[in-house]
Amino acid sequence: MGFEAKGDDIDIGKFWRTLGERAIGATVVTTAGEDGPNGFLGLSAAHVCASPPTMIVSVDKNTTALQGITGSGSFAVNFLPQGTAALANAFGGKSDEDRAARFVEADWTTLATGAPVLKSALGVFDCQVDQVIDRGNVAIIIGTVAGVSAAGEGAPLVFFRGKFQSE
C-alpha cells in the first residue's frame, strides 16, 4: 500500500509517512533555561561534522524548550536506551506530565554546559549554540560540542513508522 508523489502532490501527510520509513534512534534534547530544565523528543538530531565536532537539531517554534536553548546558549542531545519509551513519550508531549515532572522520572546530571544529561543515556553530546536558522515552523540549531559521554553498551530505543519499536 505504497504511494508516489511529485511536486504539488507532496502534501504534509505524505511527507511524514515517507519520513516514517526511516528508523531513527530516539533522542531527548534538553536545556537548562532561566525557568528550569526543559526538553523535547528530538528525532531530528544529527551530527554536522567532526572537525569541529558539531550537532544540529530542529526545534518546533511552539516548543517551550526553544526559549531555554536560545536563552542559555546550550543544549544536550541524549541518545535513549531501550526501555525508555515512557520517558520519550513524556518529552514528546504524549503524556499529561508538565515540563518539570519529566525530569523527575530519571537520574540527570550535567557535563560542560549545565544542560541536563540523562545518566542512563547511551551517548550524549553537550553543545554550545553556534547558530540559529529560521526555517518554516522550526528553528534549526547548530551547536559546537563542548562535552561527550558514551555508555559503550546497551541497545537504542528506535522510532519507526510512527511508534517506538518493541523492547
Q: pLDDT tens digits, residue range 30-70?
A: 999 888 899 999 999 999 999 999 999 999 999 889 999 99
Mean pLDDT of 138-163: 95
The verdict on residue 145 lying in a domain is yes
The verdict on residue 97 lying in a domain is yes
pLDDT value for 1? 58
The verdict on residue 69 lying in a domain is yes
Is 109's pLDDT higher than 90?
yes
CATH number, residue 99:
2.30.110.10
Nine cell digits for residue 51: 572537525
The verdict on residue 124 lying in a domain is yes
DSSP classification of residue 46: E
Q: Answer with the residue of higher pLDDT: 144 or 166.
A: 144
Mean pLDDT of 129-152: 97
The verdict on residue 161 lying in a domain is no
Average pLDDT value for the chain: 91
* Count of domains forming the chain: 1
The verdict on residue 93 lying in a domain is yes
What residues contact 4, with CB distance under 8 A and at least 6 apart?
A: none
DSSP classification of residue 69: H
Q: How many alpha carbons fall within 13 Å on the CB side of residue 62? A: 4
**Which domain covers residue 65, as residue numbers?**
26-151
Give, for 24, the enclosing helix (H) or strand (E).
strand 24-25
Is 97's pLDDT higher than 70?
no
